Structure 1
């Protein structure tokens, strides 16, 4: 069975996020930076208009926004460099517009801290970055507004920080849930494709078995009968030849009927009721008529056998007898069928030439025992083959009753 190719997405864990799936949606944060920028300019210029510092402040906030927008570039290189530079940019902007510094620091530092929680994913690293950012915030407030105003600004800072972190956690869970859902949907689609492949393979194997059990076995029987006719004609036994030809014609009709039944089963997926005892006796009768090999049999009643097990049991017996006729050169066959320990038990033996069981499946064109093994396996049964060159062959088959 060929392995299905998995794309990179399916190789991820369900909680693993691609780099483009940053917890903070970039555009909302960019809009937030613009909003903070406008607020800082208004607050500063209402109290004291500063034209050149305002231009320089605009440049600094553009740098901050660009760094955020291209923050993915730093993920695999030096993420600490990104956070330190962002801290320095915000700290510098607080001194360019002193009166607007509270808006910048309170508006953007909590966002940067929350971003570090998502990206760094390490309590120690996040704590270090928080201490650094919080220290710069306190220094900027003290230098711009004095130490007496510090408690008020600290309170505001922590309120905003708690709100932003809470939003981050909620948003993080939503994104993680969506990514897990996408992952499982892709896995489900992959599993569905796998099931389709296995179903197709099973159908092909089933059709191969059905064709073998009907057309191949039927044609093999016809060939054996025609070979017998040829021998009798050479010996001048016309009467016997005509008898075999009549049986061959009937067998050809039966094979055609069986082939049509197989086709109908493939179309309708339904099984007809099978009289197992009668089917077994019919197979034995056909075998004796075609091969003139005597069959000693003991067929005990088997109760509560499912249709599938009955069908497969009949096929297994037919294939076993066909193998004996084609390869064993036997003149006597023993068949024993009974219900034992809740299972259908079949024992089929012959006094033919036997073979080396190590060669099963290795001879080109000889797949009878392989077909038997597949049939038995499909109904949850077991097959044991005992054979020694010159000492005949024994098959022990058990099939579940239900």
Structure 2
């Protein structure tokens, strides 16, 4: 504004260059290390002090507008009350010197209150902003730690499940094969002694034990498929279970399976178990000729419906007939993931399972 009546193009150009340098130093302030910050703040102070004398009539605007901002930045960066106070005293001293030289000491009672008012406003805002930033950083840190902890728990859960299944597989095969070896050794002894009748009895018993061992081993191996779930999506895993069911039973499964997104490994493992157990129950007990599976994702949950046109049963008998339909184990798995199970069935009317699993 002072250029209107008394143009000072050279000084205005120098003044503009100095303020651009001042802004540029703000832009690169993060590049200064902790030991070099005093150099940064002193350089900024010198720039403002010099600019106040290049265009003296504009010094109040420059100093009152920019010194409080620089002091506020020192609060955030220096994080030390004594250092901040020393920097404030230096800034305040330079401000008083510049006003005294340009306007006289008699004007200080006017400019000092204005300076402190602006400084108070900027400092209050800075402290409030700094607290919000610190709170946000702490929240982000806690969220990261919580996510890592959740992932660790999920990994440990899957690992423990695999180890348990591996132990079951080891015990099943070891015990079954040990029994078969003992029976075969007995058969060998009886054959050498000419006791063919007893040998045939043991062979028949061995064949039955071999079938049971194979059945148990297949069950455990199917459970160990959890290891491969990390490399396939939920949709493909469900289709694989349906295909196995169709191959064994010869029953075509009517399916309506929509894509499922953002499913954790733990939820995927339990979801596959639920489908597998439902189909196994149908195969063992329902005598059905028609099966339908419907799966969809909605409101952060997976909704599964498994129905058949089999012989059905009375839901009052759930838990009273040991082992029937395996629904108790199914209910337990669903409960562990915070899901829900609703059963609709009547003798001769088929069965419907309505299952929800949180994603």
TM-score category (smaller protein) = 0.5 to 0.7
For residue 115 of structure 1, report the CA deviation from its aligned partner: 0.3
For residue 144 of structure 1, report the CA deviation from its aligned partner: 1.0
The structure whose residues are more often helix, as a share, is: 2
Partner of residue 168 from structure 2, selected from 205, 210, 223:
210
For residue 237 of structure 1, report the CA deviation from its aligned partner: 2.6
Structure 2 residue aligned with 1:91: 49
Structure 1 residue aligned with 2:116: 158
Structure 1 residue aligned with 2:189: 231
CA displacement, residues 102-123 of structure 1 (integer Å, 9 cap, x when unaligned): 0000000000000001101111
Q: Residues 187, 234 of structure 1: CA spacing in aligned structure 2 closer, same or farther, 3 A cutoff?
A: same
Q: Distance in 1 between matches of 2:104 and 2:65?
A: 20
Structure 2 residue aligned with 1:246: 204
Q: Distance in 1 between matches of 2:223 and 2:25?
A: 68
Q: Is the CA contact (8 Å cut-off) linking 2:191 and 2:199 kept in structure 1?
A: yes
Q: Residues 236, 185 of structure 1: CA spacing in aligned structure 2 closer, same or farther, 3 A cutoff?
A: same
CA displacement, residues 218-258 of structure 1 (integer Å, 9 cap, x when unaligned): 12211111112112212323233223223212322333444
Structure 2 residue aligned with 1:122: 80
For residue 214 of structure 1, report the CA deviation from its aligned partner: 2.2
Partner of residue 80 from structure 1, selected from 10, 24, 38:
38
Q: Residues 265, 84 of structure 1: CA spacing in aligned structure 2 closer, same or farther, 3 A cutoff?
A: closer
Structure label with greater radius of gyration = 1
Identify which range, 222-231 or 239-248, moves more after superposition. Answer: 239-248
Structure 2 residue aligned with 1:54: 12
Q: Distance in 2 between matches of 1:103 and 1:142?
A: 15
Structure 1 residue aligned with 2:300: none
Q: Is the CA contact (8 Å cut-off) linking 2:172 and 2:213 kept in structure 1?
A: yes
For residue 46 of structure 1, report the CA deviation from its aligned partner: 5.0
CA displacement, residues 360-397 of structure 1 (integer Å, 9 cap, x when unaligned): xxxxxxxxxxxxxxxxxxxxxxxxxxxxxxxxxxxxxx
CA displacement, residues 265-286 of structure 1 (integer Å, 9 cap, x when unaligned): 783498xxxxxxxxxxxxxxxx
Q: Where do residues 289-304 of structure 1 align in structure 2 (5 Å cutoff)?
A: none
Question: Which secondary structure does the structure 2 equivalent of 1:45 belong to?
Answer: coil
Structure 2 residue aligned with 1:335: none
Q: Is the CA contact (8 Å cut-off) linking 2:169 and 2:221 kept in structure 1?
A: no
Question: Which secondary structure does the structure 1 equivalent of 2:3 belong to?
Answer: helix
TM-score by length of structure 1 reads 0.53
Structure 1 residue aligned with 2:153: 195
Q: Residues 203, 57 of structure 1: CA spacing in aligned structure 2 closer, same or farther, 3 A cutoff?
A: same
Q: Is the CA contact (8 Å cut-off) linking 1:47 and 1:99 kept in structure 2?
A: no
For residue 79 of structure 1, report the CA deviation from its aligned partner: 0.8
For residue 130 of structure 1, report the CA deviation from its aligned partner: 0.5
Structure 2 residue aligned with 1:31: none
Determine which structure has greater relative contact order: mean sequence separation of CA pairs < 8 Å that are 6+ residues apart, divided by chain length: 1
Count of equivalent residues: 229
Partner of residue 64 from structure 1, selected from 22, 25, 31:
22
Q: Distance in 2 between matches of 1:98 and 1:50?
A: 12
Q: Where do residues 100-139 of structure 1 align in structure 2 (5 Å cutoff)?
A: 100-139=58-97
Query: Mind listing any 5+ residue stretches in structure 1 that lack a counterpart?
Result: 1-41, 271-306, 308-402
CA RMSD of aligned residues (A): 2.4
Q: Distance in 1 between matches of 2:153 and 2:3?
A: 69
Q: Distance in 1 between matches of 2:106 and 2:87?
A: 25
